[in-house]
Structure 1
Amino acid sequence: MAQIVEAYKHLLQAEKYKKSVAPLTDLYPDITIHDAYRVQMESIDQKVKDGQKIVGKKIGLTSFAMQELLGVDQPDYGHLLDGMDIPNGGSIPMETLFNPKVEAELAFVLKKDLIGPAVTVEDVLEATEYIVPSIEIVDSRITDWKIKLEDTIADNASCGLFTLGGQRFDPNGIDLTKIEMSLYKNGQFMNKGTGADVLGHPATCVAWLANKLTEYDVTLKAGEVILSGALSAAVVAQKGDVFTAEFSQLGKVEVSFG
């Protein structure tokens, strides 16, 4: 437990002074995935005590390319807090971030709890009130993104901020695997992806999360926002950049950096 607290305080120092820090996997070579989630929860628990509210979860490493890059065979997850929510079209001060990157994905907003360990894609769709297009701004307190799986998990799955589109859609009337997304930076096309690029189906990612959380006695709750995983590679953001993600059938979502 002492190591968990040390690791949590190490990351907290980075946040407090806005100065990146060394990877936990360098400082604690024996840190496990379970340890890393405990570090994450120490941080989240403290922020809740300080007045922030958990509003959802994010799923990371849902593409096979990213899993291969980090040498893992499963996604990871982090918590969304109310202070991370940026309005669609909003501007984010760069000085509040470390080394941000932008991803586009589908967000599920739940109308009922999802309790594992046997949640299916059908269960997810039935429990979803609506989906919206979203942008996640991933960020890392670890210097130069030199992370291993344990580092990103401890760092709340490298979650920084998120933005949700304004239009809501019933997921049962749309083939989510065929949703196409194009990401633009300052009007220039960056990359694209489809719903099939995240574990074959975005709802598969949400089902994975609901089932994974049973290991920690946590459930996905009605009203929560679930970011289901990036449909394409993250793109580095710099001061003055404007990012737009356009989704077939779902419209677009946009954010800028000031």
Structure 2
Amino acid sequence: MTPEARRDLAGLLATARREGRQIPPPHDLPEDAEEGYAVAEEVAALLGWERRGWKVAATTPEMQRRLRATEPTRGPIYARFVTDSPAVVPHAPLLDPIVECEVLLRLDRPLPPREAPWTAQEVEAAIGAALGGIEVAECRFPMDALPAMSAILADGAGNGHYVVGPEIPGWREADLAAMPVALEVDGVRRRIGCGADAMGHPFRVLLWLAEALRRRGEGLAAGDLVSTGTCTGMLRPARGQRMRARFGDDCKVDLAFA
């Protein structure tokens, strides 16, 4: 893309977000992931919205196949779209929403920019809490005309709304990889998975993100929230439905679509 085309796409996406609408994919799109992320940074700068953390997606080979990605992807979580469980989200304004149950990690220590790679031990020590969560992913491009993944990255990797649930009991000692995760719709179980669906373990997702940001001269701040990828695949919600995500036996996250 030329610098002008990149600015134009960033402007279109920022306007679409402010106005809550979708746009047809323009002819000139990012050529690769790096260009997509560069456009996303310009979109974030134009919006000026507070960032609460990061989402990571495509954390399994199956999700990468479905999303047409070759590696995990990342996008910002905006504070204005983060709510606590139980949450109510109006369905009508949503743009091709997809519901996903995800382990959320909240940092209580920063992982600042540096030259040396992060270790798994350092990253895990920065985690202050592992929480149950629901992502309602959205896309500013219509689902029936989706462009290449590089353009989805320009759109913040399909970021949307995030529902934050309670802390997963005993998360630091528990086997989060083996933890069952289920999504219920109006009391009926519709999707099942486990913590290992997030890159083998949710903590590995945080390490991947910390390294991806480090290589760009960026870092993570104390208080950041990291959504670690779906453990239950993807499900389209309907207006009036009530969702409940279960993480193990004692962590529940509730979301209703008004």
Scaled by the length of structure 1, the TM-score of the pair is 0.91
> What residue is the counterpart of 1:204 in the other structure?
204
> What residue is the counterpart of 2:228 in the other structure?
228
Measured after TM superposition, the shift of residue 10 of structure 1 is 2.0
What fraction of aligned residue pairs are identical, expressed as a percent?
23
CA distance in 2, matches of 1:55, 1:192: 28
Counterpart AA for 1:104: C
Deviation beyond 4 Å, 4+ runs, structure 1: none
Q: Which runs of 5 or more structure 2 residues have no equivalent in the other structure? A: none
Asked whether 1:125 is paired with 2:127, we answer no
Q: 1:97 to 1:213 in 2, by over 3 A?
A: same
> What residue is the counterpart of 1:219 in the other structure?
219
Q: Is the 8 A contact 1:163 1:253 kept in 2?
A: yes
Q: Secondary structure at the match of 1:69?
A: helix
May I ask how many residue pairs the two structures share in their alignment? Answer: 253
Measured after TM superposition, the shift of residue 184 of structure 1 is 1.0
Q: Is the 8 A contact 2:40 2:156 kept in 1?
A: yes
CA distance in 1, matches of 2:226, 2:84: 16
> What residue is the counterpart of 2:257 in the other structure?
257
Asked whether 1:94 is paired with 2:91, we answer yes
Q: 1:30 to 1:129 in 2, by over 3 A?
A: closer
Asked whether 1:104 is paired with 2:101, we answer yes
RMSD, aligned CA: 1.9
Counterpart AA for 2:134: I
Q: Secondary structure at the match of 2:125?
A: helix
> What residue is the counterpart of 2:66 in the other structure?
69
- Between Structure 1 and Structure 2, which shows a larger proportion of helix residues? 1
CA distance in 2, matches of 1:29, 1:81: 24
CA distance in 1, matches of 2:182, 2:47: 34
> What residue is the counterpart of 1:174 in the other structure?
174
Q: 1:189 to 1:213 in 2, by over 3 A?
A: same
1:42-89 residue CA offsets vs partner (Å, 9 max, x unmatched): 1212222xxx32111110111210112344331010111110112211
Q: Is the 8 A contact 2:168 2:251 kept in 1?
A: no
Greater Cα offset, 206-215 or 7-16: 7-16
Asked whether 1:58 is paired with 2:55, we answer yes
Q: Is the 8 A contact 2:210 2:219 kept in 1?
A: yes
CA distance in 1, matches of 2:161, 2:43: 16
Q: 1:99 to 1:6 in 2, by over 3 A?
A: same
Q: Is the 8 A contact 1:132 1:250 kept in 2?
A: no
Q: 1:250 to 1:224 in 2, by over 3 A?
A: farther
CA distance in 2, matches of 1:168, 1:245: 12
CA distance in 2, matches of 1:187, 1:147: 35
Asked whether 1:5 is paired with 2:4, we answer no
> What residue is the counterpart of 1:186 in the other structure?
186
Q: Give the 5 Å matches for 1:124-163.
A: 124-144=123-143, 146-163=146-163
> What residue is the counterpart of 2:24 in the other structure?
22
Q: Is the 8 A contact 1:130 1:169 kept in 2?
A: no
Scaled by the length of structure 2, the TM-score of the pair is 0.91
Q: Which runs of 5 or more structure 1 residues have no equivalent in the other structure? A: none
